[in-house]
Amino acid sequence: MEKFFNLPEEKQKIIIDAALKCFGTNGYKKTSVSDIAAAAGISKAMVFHYFGTKKGLYLYLIDLCGNIVMKEINEEFDYSVIDFFERIRLSSKIKISIMKKHPAILAFLTSMYFESDEEVNEDIKAILAKGEGFRSKIAFDGMDFSKFKDGIDPKLVMKMLIWLAEGYISQLSNKTEINYDVFFQEFEECLDLLKNNFYKGESL
């Protein structure tokens, strides 16, 4: 990887964007190093020179995307917000801004989440497991649980929201143009619906 990092940043970005788009469009198995090299305008040999293997490049991209998301959330997130649904709203808004700035990340991460190739499957599971701690911290550290109705498990609500977001994103990834503002508006409407049903009394 040192040889790759010695490249000018603009050249690194071209290679990264090409790889994200190829993997995001075709998945791990169907994407070849030749595809990535052609999209980046470099030789196949140079891809191996920089990353060693296709798997090495793929895992680097997962790590890179995860770091970008966590860095921006850490910089923008406000832990003084203690309402569960407002925290989800805030973190989701930050993620949308990331997707706007780095559009190739959405398709890649969606493709990665549903990837089943045995060569990378266990690595992906391990990486996703590590991300659970960060996700729980954002949702639950210092959060006010008292607003929930008796018998409502906030962790189960969190799972529902994850399923909701992932299902929606999997549909968005098939579109050539994505209106993130419309997506976020609909997601907010779902948050308000859940908030009204899972919180005590009037929540809005």
> What is the chain written as a DSSP string?
-HHHHTS-HHHHHHHHHHHHHHHHHHHHHH--HHHHHHHHTS-HHHHHHHHSSHHHHHHHHHHHHHHHHHHHHHHH--TT---HHHHHHHHHHHHHHHHHH-HHHHHHHHHHHT---HHHHHHHHHHHHHHHHHHHHHHHTT--GGGBPTT--HHHHHHHHHHHHHHHHHHHTT-SS--HHHHHHHHHHHHHHHHHHHBSS---
pLDDT of residue 60: 95
pLDDT at 1 over 70: yes
Average pLDDT value for residue range 67-86: 90
The residues near 165 (Cβ < 8 Å, ≥ 6 apart) are 92, 187
Instruction: Give me the mean pLDDT over the 21-35 stretch.
Output: 94
Read off the pLDDT of each residue in 155-175 and give the average, rounded to a whole number: 76
Q: Give the mean pLDDT of the chain.
A: 88
What pLDDT score was predicted for residue 45? 96
pLDDT exceeds 80 at position 102: no
Residue 176: predicted pLDDT: 61
